[in-house]
Amino acid sequence: MKIFIEKNYELLSSKAVLRFKKILESKKVKNIAFPTGNTPKLFYRKLVELYKKGKIDFSKISGFLIDEYYPMKKDSKDSFNYYISNNFFALVNLKEKYSLNGSNLDFISECRSYKELIEKKGGLDMAILGIGENGHIGFNEPGSELNSRVRLVELKNTTLDLNRAKYEAGPIPRYALTMGIYEIFRAKRIMLLASGKSKSERVRDFLNGPISRDLPVSVLRLHPDIEVIIDKEAAVLIEDKIMNLIN
Ligand code: PGA
């Protein structure tokens, strides 16, 4: 595991772009899973800036959105499809863009198709991830099976409380469609991002707590090729003995 601790959110985002660009240039990467949320927003903005300057090329990359609310219209401003399209997918030259459709009433076939699509494409070469304040990855909430696949999940109250603040219309959806921990863990490489004090407990537990279904992100500690990019605020609770190993 590589761990980078940057001074602040701005530098974290720049570091993530630098690492990502390097991976794109040096490795055979085709299928990449992309997250939503506040954490990757500046990362996406910087990638788009680089693209506009002709300094990065996505023409061989297929982008896969990790999750989506359910039920949710694709073009709703609250949808993750809208977010990823407006922050990234529609602004660069990706070869292909895929996402879960939260407006397909047959969620079983929606999830099966996405699972089969990922398999047919040869699996994910890379997954970029944030950490939920309750330790979720994608919408794999605490309690998720470590071999869980693309599926419908019921969101935990911790997630609903946080989502309420970000959500514009009506009652927030209680359900979501998400890649499973299996699809995410099978990605050949992982880039995990965390910023701010609100993530510091989860970062500490991720690095030094038990690997458990109660903290879905913890399973990524077993991943053979993971880099973790965080800022100082997210790193404040990392124990000294672990910090000595990082430095
Ligand atoms: P955030 O969300 O980046 O908005 O904190 C992360 C997540 O829930 O995975």
**131 alpha carbon – ligand 1 mean position (Å):** 6
Nearest-CA residue for ligand 1 atom 8 is 132
Query: What is the residue whose two structure tokens read 């039920």?
Result: 71
For each of the chain's 247 residues, which pLDDT tens digit applies? 999 999 999 999 999 999 999 999 987 899 999 999 999 999 999 999 999 999 999 999 999 999 999 999 989 999 999 999 999 999 999 999 999 999 999 999 999 999 999 999 999 999 999 999 999 999 999 999 999 999 999 999 999 988 888 777 677 899 999 999 999 999 999 999 999 999 999 999 999 999 999 999 999 999 999 999 999 999 999 988 888 888 7
Please state whether beta strands 126-130 and 189-194 pair in parallel, antiparallel, or not at all (unpaired): parallel
Which residues are known catalytic residues? 67, 134, 136, 141
**H helices, E strands: number in the chain:** 9, 10
**241 alpha carbon – ligand 1 mean position (Å):** 27
Task: Write down the pTM of the prediction.
Answer: 0.97
Contact indicator for 33, 187 with CB cutoff of 8 Å: yes
Verify whether ligand 1 is closer than 6 Å to residue 138 (CB atom).
no
Pocket test for ligand 1, best of 80, 133, 164, 192 (most atoms within 8 A of CB): 133
Task: Compute CA distances 219 → 51, 81, 149, 207, 209, whole Å.
Answer: 33, 27, 15, 10, 11
Residue 217 structure tokens: 């992100």
Verify whether ligand 1 is closer than 6 Å to residue 130 (CB atom).
yes
Which atom of ligand 1 is nearest the CA belonging to 193? 3
